[in-house]
Amino acid sequence: MSAPAVTRPADAAPARTTGPRRPARRHGTLTHPARTGLLLVAPAVAFVVVFVLVPLVSAVGISFTNLPLIGPWRFIGLENYASVLTDPAFWRAVGYTLLYTAIVTLPILALGYALAVVVRSNRRGATALRTIFFVPYVVGLTTLSFLMLLEAQPNSGMVNVVLKALGITDGTTAWLVDGPLATGLLCAMVIWAVSGLTMVLLMSGMQGIPREVYESAEIDGASWWVRERSITIPMLRRTIAMTVVLSVIGSLLAFTQFYILTQGGPGSDTTTVVMAIYRRAFVQLQLGAATAMSLVLVVITGLVTAAQFWLLRERS
C-alpha cells in the first residue's frame, strides 16, 4: 500500500503569462522531499496534527455555532464574531490585559537580568542564591495567590502589618477591593514570582558567552558597565527576545492569580481577557461565543508576538 500522493494537476490553475519564466518546481506534493525524510518527521507532524491542527480547526468550526454546554446547537455563521467584536466588556478586558502586560514585562526582565548578574558566576553562595530566587516560581502563582489572599486582608494581613509598622499606611488598606490597588499588588506579586524564571534563562545565556571576550575587553580597559552594554546584552539578544516573548504571552493569558485574588472585581476593574472567556464558557455556558473570543485572543497574541519579533530582530 502506498501513501496517497498529493499533486497539483497541471490544469488545476491557469499558467501565468506574465513575468520571467521560472523553472517548474514540484512543490505541493507530499512525496517531495524524499520519503525517508517524511518518515522521520512523521511523529512530529502527527503530534502537531492531532494536538494543534485538529483542535484549532475544531475550534474554528465551533466558533461558527451557538454551541452551549447544554442543549442543542446550530450554525450561526459570523454572529459570534460580530457579538465579540462589538462587546465593550470584551475590549475592556483586552485593554486591561494589555495594560497589565505592559506593566509587568519590563520589571520582570530588569529584575530577572539583575538577579542573573548576581548569580551567574560560580563563586561561593551563588547556588544558594539561585535557589532562593527561583523558589517563588517553583511554588507557583496558585499557591502564592492563596497566600496573598490572606496576607492582603485589612488589619490582619502581613502586607498591611508591615506597611503599618513602616509608618506608610494605617494598616486598614483593602487592597483587593480597589482596582488600581489590586492591580498594583498583583503586578508586584507576579514580578516577584516570575523573575526567577527570567533569571535562569538569562543566566544560562550569560554563561554561554566565552570568557575570552570579557578578558579582551578588560585588557582594553572596559568598565563593568561597558562590558555589560557592549558584550553581554548584544550577545544575549536572542535569549532576551525569547524571555520577553514568553513573558508577554504568559501575561496575555493571565488568569489564575486574578481568579483567586479578585475574581475580576471590583466591578470589572481587574477582568482579564482569559477570565472573560472563562465566564462566557463556564458561567454563561456559551462555548461557541467563548471559542470565538479565544480565537480573537489567538490573533491578538500573534500580532503582539510578531511585533516583538520585529522590534527585537537582529540588525546588521
Partner 1 sequence: MELTRRQLLALLGAGGAAAALGGCARDLAAADVGAPGFGDGAGGTVEMWCRSDTVNGVQAVVDAFHAAQDRVRVRLTPIQNGQYVTKVATAIRGGRVPDVIDIDDIYSTMFAFRDVFTDLTPLVEDLALGDALSPGHLALATKDGRHYGVPFLGDFSVLFCNTELFERAGLDVDEHTASFDGILEAARAITALDDDTYGWSFPGNASGALGFTVQPHVWATGTDLIAGEIGDQRGDVAGNEALRRTLDLERTLWDEQLVPPGCFADDASRWSADYVAGRLGMFPGGYGVVAPNASPELLDRSRVVLLPGPDGGRAFFDGGDNLCMPAGGKNPEGAAELIRFAVSLEQQARMPDGFYSPVRSDVVTPDFEAEHPLVTPTLASLDSGYAPTTLAYNLIYNQQDGPWLRMFRRAVFDGEVDAAMDEAQTTYDRILRQAEA
Residues β-bridged to residue 75: 65
Asked if residues 171 and 155 have their Cβ atoms less than 8 Å apart, the reply is yes
Q: Which of 138, 115, 136 is nearest to 202 (CA)?
A: 115
Distance CA 18, CA 26 (A): 20
Query: Half-sphere exposure of 316 toward its Cβ, with a 13 Å CA cutoff?
Result: 0
Asked if residues 286 and 280 have their Cβ atoms less than 8 Å apart, the reply is yes
C-alpha cell, 216 = 579582551
C-alpha cell, 26 = 514540484
- Does 70 sit near partner 1 (CB under 8 A)? yes
Contact with partner 1 (CB under 8 A) among 126, 188, 260, 285? 285
Nearest approach in angstroms of CB 205 to partner 1 is 38
User: 312 — phi, psi (to 5°)?
Assistant: -100, 10
- Does 142 sit near partner 1 (CB under 8 A)? no
- Does 60 sit near partner 1 (CB under 8 A)? yes
* Residues between 264 and 283 that touch partner 1 (CB under 8 A): 264-271, 275, 279, 282-283
Radius of gyration of the chain (CA): 26
Residue type, 36: T
Which C-beta is closer to partner 1: that of 151 or that of 201?
A: 151
Distance CA 214, CA 95 (A): 43
- Does 85 sit near partner 1 (CB under 8 A)? no
Contact with partner 1 (CB under 8 A) among 32, 83, 209, 222? 83
Which C-beta is closer to partner 1: that of 7 or that of 127?
A: 7
Contact with partner 1 (CB under 8 A) among 109, 159, 176, 189? 176
Total residues at the site for partner 1 (CB under 8 A)? 58
Contact with partner 1 (CB under 8 A) among 263, 298, 307, 309? 263
- Does 190 sit near partner 1 (CB under 8 A)? no
Which C-beta is closer to partner 1: that of 149 or that of 312?
A: 149
- Does 66 sit near partner 1 (CB under 8 A)? yes
Nearest approach in angstroms of CB 39 to partner 1 is 18
Say whether 68 sits in a helix, a strand or coil: strand
Contact with partner 1 (CB under 8 A) among 166, 172, 299, 311? 172
